[in-house]
Chains A and B, each alone.
Chain A
């Protein structure tokens, strides 16, 4: 497949406005303004563009569900908080092609008839955020952002908000609080942000990768987009592969490309003599898959059918020298650290789990600890306030299922078997 989203990405020297226009940038504005907003929503829905931020919700449907007569002002928030371990796709888009993002936000805001757009950038991506800010100023000077864009009568203000820097700020409603200058605790989802979001005004949030597809769909049509995918997938997809592979990296491939191809062809496979233990398909908050799942197409429904989630399409590979208990402990420590501290099960429960895992990983676990992990993780997943904790429990619960023997051997032998193997191998 020819690169679509990354075609004009220059990692260290992003195209300026002029250069971007010379390769066809901002052409989709004309295509958009020539249409009625609801027509654009129909096309996006027909393209079956699904959210790239993790949940995979249909973008067109989300836009349609935001009341067309919603009171003004309306907001569009573009999510570049990208903090999911293993995920670095939005970073490419941000650092390598700010104008593509601006173009996408303009046409999407037009479709939603939103007059204000906020682009929320992960704190650690500050430099990229500043670059984006400069690009917006450039676009403003050229009349592409601001009032009466290109004579269309459509007005749009665009702001960059650089995050204070926490994983939870990427959660839709926590992000709204963060933008408002409040503590980034998630909000109760009633009423929905599409009714009462930023400063209580109707707000739509999308991941940046979701949005950058929109100009291409507008220019080339819904059928073109659907045809780009393979194995039931639609459109191009950015995949990240990391972990125990030769060439970790970012790959733009048809949505639906099997995991085997990603790991063994594009990422160069495993080191000499190693075998695959398993992999996480979609970032830290998705369930482990096993070697038997290598041929599952990396698309939303097939991965879900295999028992995991496509998430951010970020594969983390474990080989036979990686202790899955250690990996899970590492993830739990991450989630314990990133909990916003709002609700009890997540705030106090996840550190508790991490503590139990640490005892098991160091060989001091007891048989009843496995029962405890199961019991507690179930409650935490079901009874927390936002989707963070359920997401955090997914890898733990699946790790306990996929790698049960490893947990038992840690407890039975009183040490980490991988330590012994890795030491003797070294």
Chain B
């Protein structure tokens, strides 16, 4: 848009850029504290002082704050001018008056912005002779450690926590040189994005409490570009390891995805790979064996039942591992599937088909630009960073509509919330489509309870009026009709509408591309009928499946050999005849395909002291023992996807060229064939720390909501159920006694239960259940 001069260099700038932003974009260093690209300018720290020459040569130059001054054509700026340097030096001197001189033992040391700025611009000696001001720290929960004396009052933390992430339990209090950043009382931070405080704070006030427990100096950490393995968004991360153990996770900038932030599941979930029960030694039945022995035992079993071997891949395993297992089974003429629950599989295939046909899912950056959005399900729990992107849209004035059955953190920001039982979601979507097209197809779709007509009409109005509407569904709690209804709605809204689904695993999109037709039911039936004797499972937990765990456990008895490759101690790993522990994701390289279909590579970050082989290596070794020639993963993938090039870690990722999927039909969310009678509908009450891997992360799990049966107060009143009273729930897998918790975010006639409770009961989202009072 124009050019200005900074210390003799011509610097281009965009309209409305301030001097600091334009300079940083041109790689010119101007020191700063309170400015942040995501939070904008504030003008509080006064470190970004520069000298600006006056247009009138007889006037002397002025020192201004570069973050508050618009860049202008022909502006002549000096960062190095003595006057500007003096201001920066004094600012540092002021900030260091009260700052503890504990750099040698401070956990921020080595990546402290204050330390860097002090070295770069500060005075070398201390002149202040008075006492220092001190603060009392707070307990902020298991994830973030608080050390207020280090604060330099840049307000970044509250601007992120309150203004950006819309949290409300951390703020600035008091005034003068006693401004305090914390909570009203000690207690765990409640925002799913609280961990970002660790990075947003330029000094060591907020530090990573998990990293602190097993601390290393940051310059000693091994790092490499990685991808978060905890959900389908695929945020870019930078793990840090030392002495063969993984210590911490940081955000890594991706301009279209997570940009400067990650969620707390992503930041703290990594502890699963250091879990005390992590399987590290191969095992054959009850005996610990060497890797070679375990491989030999596995090969022997497979040889014995050569054409009766099948494999179950996983949506949390990378593209390479799944593709290798599939190839191995092709050679063995066995079956290959990747889901443990066929209902979720069908829905996910439909979702990926819908994403492919709708012209591509919006990136997080695009979701932020939405001016209206419809969310179906609890987005925060399934794709936390999509939630954060929607919060940005909300801040910019977008209208949000939330259609959900159980607790949803986003509902607070919604212009319209429709809280309906799982089995009514689809009817609401169809009715919304009718409203949006204003041409009701006769006969009208099964009328949702009429009381929502007004809300649906409102949503239809702002979705149709929007320039950039976005529709996002949580595929794990949807079935094909719900997914199809969203596609229909998106089509009705026209090409400006964008459609996205939060999928149930880091590589779900990738595994669906490998197995485009549903295959789980067929595999399960083949096991039950004795056609399969040996099952190889990689990174999956069918025996721990919420809805079908019982059926899988029964089926397991038909298997002569269960071979499991995993890095967490799942129910399936525990039940394995042959267990081959494998490297966790940061210990190997691979590729995940995110919800947009973006394939992103992650690099091996470190080696354990006693390295474990990765899944691809184990499968290759197994093939070798079976005397099968297995191509390497790259060859397998380029065979599957024309022109495939492994996306390099640290790049922006790339789309895979794959033939389009077809959406199969299916029944709406509701009881499967194993239907259990009852008149309460079950809703999954998940939370942001909840995924199969992060549930092995101890610090994060401290925050897990206590097990309870969540019921809407009105429904509870009708049934004579009181808050906190115990009720008994009976499911196909077992009986559970839980306290009732009244919750306004639960639909009428619905009980919202955690994933753990669902597994204990053997029911899934949308199933029916009976509830008994305990007197």
Q: Determine whether the beta carbon of B68 is less than 8 Å from that of A345.
A: no
Q: Determine whether the beta carbon of A345 is less than 8 Å from that of B91.
A: yes
A337 and B153 CA atoms in complex are apart in Å by 16
Q: Determine whether the beta carbon of B178 is less than 8 Å from that of A352.
A: no
A344 and B127 CA atoms in complex are apart in Å by 17
Q: Does A92 contact B (CB under 8 A)?
A: no
A384 and B91 CA atoms in complex are apart in Å by 10
Set of chain B residues within 8 Å of A359, measured between Cβ atoms: 129
Set of chain A residues within 8 Å of B82, measured between Cβ atoms: none
Q: Determine whether the beta carbon of B129 is less than 8 Å from that of A355.
A: yes
A54 and B153 CA atoms in complex are apart in Å by 29
Q: Name the contact of A344 in the complex, choosing from B68, B91, B133 (C-beta under 8 A).
A: B91
**Which of B38-46, B410-418, B422-430, B437-445 faces chain A?**
B38-46
- A-facing mask of B128-155, CB < 8 A → 1, else 0? 1110010000000000000000001101
Set of chain A residues within 8 Å of B152, measured between Cβ atoms: 344
Q: Determine whether the beta carbon of A351 is less than 8 Å from that of B177.
A: yes
Q: Determine whether the beta carbon of A372 is less than 8 Å from that of B46.
A: no
Q: Determine whether the beta carbon of B95 is less than 8 Å from that of A344.
A: yes
Within 312-350 of A, Cβ neighbours of B (below 8 Å) are at: 336-345, 347-349
Within 84-112 of A, Cβ neighbours of B (below 8 Å) are at: none
Set of chain A residues within 8 Å of B761, measured between Cβ atoms: none
- A-facing mask of B146-168, CB < 8 A → 1, else 0? 00000011010000000000000
Q: Does A382 contact B (CB under 8 A)?
A: yes
A351 and B43 CA atoms in complex are apart in Å by 20
Within 136-174 of A, Cβ neighbours of B (below 8 Å) are at: 166, 168
Q: Determine whether the beta carbon of B87 is less than 8 Å from that of A336.
A: no
Q: Does A220 contact B (CB under 8 A)?
A: no
Q: Determine whether the beta carbon of B175 is less than 8 Å from that of A166.
A: yes
Q: Does A383 contact B (CB under 8 A)?
A: yes
Chain B, residue nearest A186 (CB) = B43
Q: Does A385 contact B (CB under 8 A)?
A: yes
Q: Determine whether the beta carbon of B178 is less than 8 Å from that of A341.
A: yes
Q: Determine whether the beta carbon of A341 is less than 8 Å from that of B175.
A: yes
Q: Does B49 contact A (CB under 8 A)?
A: yes
Q: Name the contact of A341 in the complex, choosing from B63, B127, B174 (C-beta under 8 A).
A: B174
Q: Determine whether the beta carbon of A383 is less than 8 Å from that of B49.
A: yes
Q: Determine whether the beta carbon of B43 is less than 8 Å from that of A348.
A: no
Q: Determine whether the beta carbon of A383 is less than 8 Å from that of B176.
A: no
Instruction: Looking at the assembled complex, report how far the CB atom of B121 sits from the nearest CB atom of chain A, in whole angstroms.
Output: 13
Q: Does B172 contact A (CB under 8 A)?
A: yes
Q: Determine whether the beta carbon of B94 is less than 8 Å from that of A338.
A: no
Chain A, residue nearest B86 (CB) = A379
Q: Does A43 contact B (CB under 8 A)?
A: no
A183 and B94 CA atoms in complex are apart in Å by 23
Q: Determine whether the beta carbon of B44 is less than 8 Å from that of A344.
A: yes
Instruction: Looking at the assembled complex, report how far the CB atom of B17 sits from the nearest CB atom of chain A, in whole angstroms.
Output: 15
Q: A336-B176, A376-B90, A379-B90 are in contact. Are A344 and B97 (CB under 8 A)?
A: no
Chain B, residue nearest A386 (CB) = B43
Chain B, residue nearest A347 (CB) = B177
Set of chain B residues within 8 Å of A127, measured between Cβ atoms: none
Q: Does A188 contact B (CB under 8 A)?
A: yes
Within 343-401 of A, Cβ neighbours of B (below 8 Å) are at: 343-345, 347-349, 351-352, 355, 359, 372, 375-376, 379, 382-385
Interface range for A: 20 to 34
Q: Determine whether the beta carbon of A337 is less than 8 Å from that of B176.
A: yes
Q: Determine whether the beta carbon of A344 is less than 8 Å from that of B87.
A: no
Interface contacts (Cβ under 8 Å), in number, total 81
Q: Determine whether the beta carbon of A344 is less than 8 Å from that of B94.
A: yes
Q: Determine whether the beta carbon of A344 is less than 8 Å from that of B175.
A: no
- B-facing mask of A218-251, CB < 8 A → 1, else 0? 0000000000000000000000000000000000
Set of chain A residues within 8 Å of B115, measured between Cβ atoms: none
Set of chain B residues within 8 Å of A341, measured between Cβ atoms: 153, 174-179
Set of chain B residues within 8 Å of A355, measured between Cβ atoms: 128-130
A372 and B94 CA atoms in complex are apart in Å by 13
Instruction: Looking at the assembled complex, report how far the CB atom of B187 sits from the nearest CB atom of chain A, in whole angstroms.
Output: 22
Instruction: Looking at the assembled complex, report how far the CB atom of B135 sits from the nearest CB atom of chain A, in whole angstroms.
Output: 13
A383 and B86 CA atoms in complex are apart in Å by 11
Instruction: Looking at the assembled complex, report how far the CB atom of A147 sits from the nearest CB atom of chain B, in whole angstroms.
Output: 31
Set of chain A residues within 8 Å of B87, measured between Cβ atoms: 379, 383
A52 and B68 CA atoms in complex are apart in Å by 30
Q: Name the contact of A343 in the complex, choosing from B44, B129, B130 (C-beta under 8 A).
A: B44
Instruction: Looking at the assembled complex, report how far the CB atom of B101 sits from the nearest CB atom of chain A, in whole angstroms.
Output: 16
A342 and B49 CA atoms in complex are apart in Å by 16
Q: Determine whether the beta carbon of B127 is less than 8 Å from that of A372.
A: yes
Instruction: Looking at the assembled complex, report how far the CB atom of A172 sits from the nearest CB atom of chain B, in whole angstroms.
Output: 16
Q: Determine whether the beta carbon of A340 is less than 8 Å from that of B97.
A: no
Q: Does B98 contact A (CB under 8 A)?
A: yes
Q: Determine whether the beta carbon of A383 is less than 8 Å from that of B46.
A: yes
Q: Determine whether the beta carbon of A348 is less than 8 Å from that of B94.
A: yes
Q: Determine whether the beta carbon of B172 is less than 8 Å from that of A183.
A: yes
Chain B, residue nearest A358 (CB) = B130
Q: Determine whether the beta carbon of B68 is less than 8 Å from that of A188.
A: yes
Set of chain B residues within 8 Å of A347, measured between Cβ atoms: 94, 153, 176-177, 179
Set of chain B residues within 8 Å of A339, measured between Cβ atoms: 175-177
Within 47-84 of A, Cβ neighbours of B (below 8 Å) are at: none
Q: Name the contact of B176 in the complex, choosing from A338, A375, A379, A384 (C-beta under 8 A).
A: A338
Within 50-96 of B, Cβ neighbours of A (below 8 Å) are at: 63, 68, 86-87, 90-91, 94-95
Q: Name the contact of B46 in the complex, choosing from A168, A352, A385 (C-beta under 8 A).
A: A385
Instruction: Looking at the assembled complex, report how far the CB atom of B453 sits from the nearest CB atom of chain A, in whole angstroms.
Output: 34
A327 and B129 CA atoms in complex are apart in Å by 22
- A-facing mask of B572-616, CB < 8 A → 1, else 0? 000000000000000000000000000000000000000000000
Set of chain A residues within 8 Å of B47, measured between Cβ atoms: 344
Q: A352-B97, A379-B90 are in contact. Are A343 and B127 (CB under 8 A)?
A: no
Set of chain B residues within 8 Å of A349, measured between Cβ atoms: 90, 94
Set of chain A residues within 8 Å of B178, measured between Cβ atoms: 341
Set of chain A residues within 8 Å of B128, measured between Cβ atoms: 352, 355
Q: Determine whether the beta carbon of A336 is less than 8 Å from that of B177.
A: yes
Most buried by B among A188, A359, A379: A379
Instruction: Looking at the assembled complex, report how far the CB atom of B203 sits from the nearest CB atom of chain A, in whole angstroms.
Output: 13
Q: Determine whether the beta carbon of A345 is less than 8 Å from that of B94.
A: yes
Set of chain B residues within 8 Å of A337, measured between Cβ atoms: 176
Q: Name the contact of B45 in the complex, choosing from A183, A343, A376, A379 (C-beta under 8 A).
A: A343
A336 and B175 CA atoms in complex are apart in Å by 10
A261 and B218 CA atoms in complex are apart in Å by 70
Q: Name the contact of B175 in the complex, choosing from A340, A351, A375 (C-beta under 8 A).
A: A340
Most buried by B among A183, A359, A376: A183
A340 and B43 CA atoms in complex are apart in Å by 14
Set of chain B residues within 8 Å of A375, measured between Cβ atoms: 90
Chain A, residue nearest B173 (CB) = A183
Set of chain A residues within 8 Å of B129, measured between Cβ atoms: 355, 359
Set of chain B residues within 8 Å of A383, measured between Cβ atoms: 46, 49, 63, 87, 90-91
Set of chain B residues within 8 Å of A344, measured between Cβ atoms: 44-47, 91, 94-95, 152-153
Chain B, residue nearest A336 (CB) = B176
Instruction: Looking at the assembled complex, report how far the CB atom of B79 sits from the nearest CB atom of chain A, in whole angstroms.
Output: 15
Instruction: Looking at the assembled complex, report how far the CB atom of A315 sits from the nearest CB atom of chain B, in whole angstroms.
Output: 27
A83 and B539 CA atoms in complex are apart in Å by 68
A344 and B92 CA atoms in complex are apart in Å by 9
Set of chain B residues within 8 Å of A382, measured between Cβ atoms: 63
A-B contact pairs, 7 of them (CB 8 A): A188-B43, A341-B175, A348-B98, A349-B90, A352-B97, A383-B91, A385-B46
Chain B interface residues toward A at CB < 8 A: 43-47, 49, 63, 68, 86-87, 90-91, 94-95, 97-98, 127-130, 133, 152-153, 155, 172, 174-179
* Extra A-B contacts (6), CB below 8 Å, given A347-B179, A348-B98, A355-B129: A341-B176, A347-B177, A351-B176, A352-B130, A383-B46, A385-B46
Chain A interface residues toward B at CB < 8 A: 166, 168, 183, 188, 336-345, 347-349, 351-352, 355, 359, 372, 375-376, 379, 382-385
Ranked 4 nearest A-B pairs via Cβ: A348-B94, A355-B130, A341-B179, A341-B175
